[in-house]
Amino acid sequence: MKAVLDHVGIAVSDLQAALAFFKDVLGLHVERSEEVASQRVRATFLDTGLSTLEMLESTAADSPIAKFVDQRGPGMHHVALRVENIGAALAHLRSRGVRLIDEQPRPGAEGALVAFIHPSASHGVLVELKQPAAKVELFTTATRHVLGDLELITLSDGFIGLDGGAMFGIVPRMLWEKRLPPDDSNRVPLGMRPLIVRNGRTTMIIDAGCGDKMDAKSAAIFRLDRRYHLDHALAEAGLAAEDIDLVVASHLHFDHVGGFTAVRQDGSVVPRFPNANYIAHRGEWEDATHPHERNRASYLQENFVPLKDAGVLTLVDDEAEVMPGVRYRRSGGHTPNHQVLMIESGGKTAVFTADMYPTSAHVPDPWVMGYDLLPVETLAFKRAFAREAIEREYLLFFEHDPSMAAGYLREKDGKRFVERLI
């Protein structure tokens, strides 16, 4: 059996007070926070460089953490050791006569499998064994591709976790979890990948991720991870916000245009790219500024209304050319006026697929998001578009794929797949 230190768990009675010390005084970075429903606990992880501190706050009066704090007060709760195969580790411990709290693994934070060794067997220390969940290889690197006379640079604004069932609609979990393994709260990891298009005169960015305005509660719900975000990606590409001339929205959902605006120190919300004009589809703007119960949570007004107030917003219609060689193409489905961006130069075509193909896993026609307002419309567009993309060798950019930025749609023996380029 081989085990390495994964984290140290600390039970707290007041998470905010604990963070005031560990984060504000010691300067540790909060990586993420999530609620583990099965244990009735909220876990907040702080990066220490070589390992992690896990702050554990009870969410129910009768939870194990609540009882621990009531009996002993806040303090160190357990030491977690990471193992490759938790089943084999438990079998090894049983063969050595080690007393266990958990004879079988159970779900833990981050989708891991965990089991605890009884403190009487480990010299008074509660020891957790942890087998991490199968991980998707996350990809953030700013990467260039030349398309005719255009330079394309794929960027990253970090990662977000959305419900796997909502992301894959009617597709059974036993199928989609093979492509995107979910965590303990059924969230799958998704990238946020804006795209730079440059022609020597104009530098355009398509979408801009969720930005930095999300409150702590929402960030925890969506498991937001922006340790590497758009500012880092722009810098890696040799750019800054001031270098952007044109900002284009595929649609106006918060995870695509949250980065269009920023909050000043005085609390005012202003355009994030100070030298840019912004473009959105006219019909999408009408839907976003007049939301209903089904779409209101996705259309956050502070992400786009300040653009109009600042006089930097231009509204256009279907098939509008937003830049020489780049035009809107209505896919609908996800929203009634959802757009993909057709990018054409030198006889070649790239497509920013936005939420029509949010990830490479969504290329089968029926794999349509539950979030789509008009799923049958999405299905019809995908059916026609897929044949076109295969025959014409379109390079597809996947905005939400956590590990692939772009690739070519292929078909073999009646099955579609993506040949990765970036």
pLDDT score of 139: 78
Per-residue pLDDT averaged across 22-40, rounded? 85
Q: Is the pLDDT of residue 38 over 80?
A: no
Element housing 58 (H / E): strand 52-58
pLDDT score of 339: 99
pLDDT, tens digit, for every residue of 100-111? Answer: 999 999 888 777
Please return the burial class of 27, using the count of CB atoms within 10 Å of its CB with bins 0-12, 13-18 and 19+.
exposed
pLDDT class of 135 with cuts at 50, 70, 90: low
pLDDT score of 333: 98
What share of the chain has pLDDT > 70, as a percent? 100
pLDDT, tens digit, for every residue of 227-247? Answer: 899 999 999 999 999 999 999
Q: Is the pLDDT of residue 327 over 80?
A: yes
Cβ atoms within 10 A of the Cβ of 178, count? 10
pLDDT score of 113: 87
pLDDT score of 221: 92
Please say whether the beta carbons of 234 and 156 come within 8 A.
Answer: no
Domain 4-131 and domain 143-420, same fold? Reply is no
Q: Among candidates 146, 143, 131, 302, which has minimal Cα distance to 210?
A: 302
Per-residue pLDDT averaged across 55-64, rounded? 93
pLDDT class of 190 with cuts at 50, 70, 90: very high
For residue 103, the SS3 value is: coil
Q: Is the pLDDT of residue 265 over 80?
A: yes
Element housing 67 (H / E): helix 64-72
Cβ atoms within 10 A of the Cβ of 385, count? 21
Q: Among candidates 243, 301, 235, which has minimal Cα distance to 272?
A: 243
| 394: DSSP letter | P
pLDDT score of 340: 99
Burial 58-78 (b: 16+ CB within 10 A, else e): beeeebbbbebbeeeebeebb
Q: Is the pLDDT of residue 382 over 70?
A: yes
Q: Among candidates 352, 332, 338, which has minimal Cα distance to 206?
A: 352
Mean pLDDT of the chain: 94
pLDDT score of 300: 98
Round to whole Å and give the CA distance between 76 and 80: 11
For residue 29, the SS3 value is: strand
The fold of the 143-420 domain, in CATH, is Metallo-beta-lactamase; Chain A (3.60.15)
- The sign of the CA dihedral 119, 121, 123, 129 is negative
Per-residue pLDDT averaged across 143-168, rounded? 97
For the chain, domain boundaries: 4-131, 143-420
Please say whether the beta carbons of 241 and 339 come within 8 A.
Answer: no
Least confident of 28-37, 44-53, 319-328: 28-37
Query: What DSSP assignment string belongs to 232-274?
Result: HHHHHTT--GGG--EEE-S---HHHHGGGEEE-TTS-EEESST
Residue 306: CB partners within 8 Å, gap ≥ 6?
Answer: 261, 269, 270, 271
pLDDT, tens digit, for every residue of 201-232? Answer: 999 999 999 999 999 889 999 999 998 999 99
The identity of residue 295, as a single letter, is N
pLDDT score of 108: 83
Q: Is the pLDDT of residue 134 over 70?
A: no
Per-residue pLDDT averaged across 69-76, rounded? 95
First-residue to last-residue Cα distance in the chain: 38
Q: Is the pLDDT of residue 312 over 90?
A: yes
Per-residue pLDDT averaged across 14-38, rounded? 88
Please say whether the beta carbons of 207 and 256 come within 8 A.
Answer: yes
Better pLDDT: 382 or 33: 382
Q: Is the pLDDT of residue 32 over 90?
A: no
At the second CATH level, the architecture of 4-131 is Roll (3.10)
